[in-house]
Amino acid sequence: MSTGAAGLSARYSALVCDLDGVVYRGEAPVPHAVESLVRVDQPIQYATNNASRPPSAVAEHLSRLGVSCGPGDVATSAQAGAWILRERLAEGARVLAIGGPGVAAALEGVGLHPVAPADRSHDVAAVLQGYGASVSAAELGEAAYAIQGGAVWVATNTDATLPTDRGVAPGNGSLVAAVGRACGRDPDAVAGKPEPPLYLLCAQRLGLEPGQVLAVGDRLDTDIEGAVAAGLDSLLVLTGVDDLDACLAAPAHRRPTYVVPDLRALHDDPETPDGDRPPLRALWDAIAAAWSAGDCGADESVTSARRRHADDVLAGLLRR
C-alpha cells in the first residue's frame, strides 16, 4: 500500500466505481458518496454487475442523486458480455437474450441481433444470460437447448444471490448454475466481476491502460478480486458489504490496494493527520502488517494483536 502526498483520486487518470454499497443503497445515497464523487476531476466509469437495467436507467438514478452522469458513463455486465460476443461473432449475429431489458439493449448496442426466448424460429449463434426478475423456467430451458445445440454461452455475472428490500433472492449465478446443470458444463465466459472483462471494457472506453485506473468497490469477492485480476489498483470503501475484519482475513487475490472508511478519503492527503485523526497511511500500514503476520504463519497472539491495532486505527479515522 503506497501513495504520494496528494489525494488518492489525483494519483490516477480515471476511476471505475461500483454502485450498490458505494454510491447508493436502493434509492438512497451512501453518506458522503455523492459530494465526494462530484469533486473528482478525473473521468469516472460507473460499473455494475446488474445486467437487468440499461445504462440510461442507471444514469437517471445517479442523476437524481446529484451525480452528473450520462449513459456512456455507465458500464454494465450485460455490455461487457455483449463486448465479449462481438469479438467472436459477425455483425448482426443472432443471440438469445435471457434477462431484463438491459441484456437485449447491450446486444443491440454492439450490432448483434437479440432474440427473445419466445421467438426461437431460427437458430442462434450465442446465448447472453443475465438477471431478470421475470426470467422463467421456460426461458432457462430455451437457453439450455441453444447451448446444447452449439451456441456460445456467456453469462453476465455469477453472483449467487441478490439482496432485496425483502431479503436475499437467487441471483444470476443461481440461474446460470441451473442451466449449467442441464447442459453439463460451465459458461464459455463470464463478463462481470470478479472476472476481468467489465473492468477491461471500462479501461478501453477511457482509452487508458488498466494500471492508470483506480477501481472503487465495497465487495472483496467481486469488486476487489476483479480489479486484481484485471490489473487495476483498488480501493475498498467500508460502506457496503465487507468490513475491516473481512479485509484482514482476505487471501492475496482479494486484497485491495487501499482501504478507506468512506469516499471522502478520495480527497484526503494519506500521509497527514487531521486533528486527532491518524493519517490514512496508518490504517494501510496496520492492515499490511496483519496480512504479513498471517502469511508468515505468525503466532495467533501476534496476528490478533495486529488486527486489533488495525481496528483501533480505523476507529480513530472515524472520528470526524
Is 18 one of the annotated active-site residues of the chain?
yes
Catalytic residue among 20, 159, 218, 233: 20
Is 242 one of the annotated active-site residues of the chain?
no
CB 128 within 8 A of CB 85: yes
CA 72, CA 56: separation in Å to the nearest integer? 8
- What DSSP state is assigned to residue 242? -
Residue linked to cell 468512506? 262
Note if the bond before 187 is cis, omega within 30 degrees: no
CA 288, CA 77: separation in Å to the nearest integer? 32
Is residue 103 classed as helix, strand or coil in its secondary structure?
Answer: helix
CA 197, CA 194: separation in Å to the nearest integer? 9
Continuous H helices in the chain: 33-37, 55-65, 77-88, 101-109, 137-148, 172-183, 197-206, 225-230, 244-248, 280-295, 300-317
139: closest CA among 110, 182, 91, 105?
182
Catalytic residue among 18, 73, 233, 268: 18
Would you please indicate which residues are annotated as catalytic (active-site) residues?
18, 20
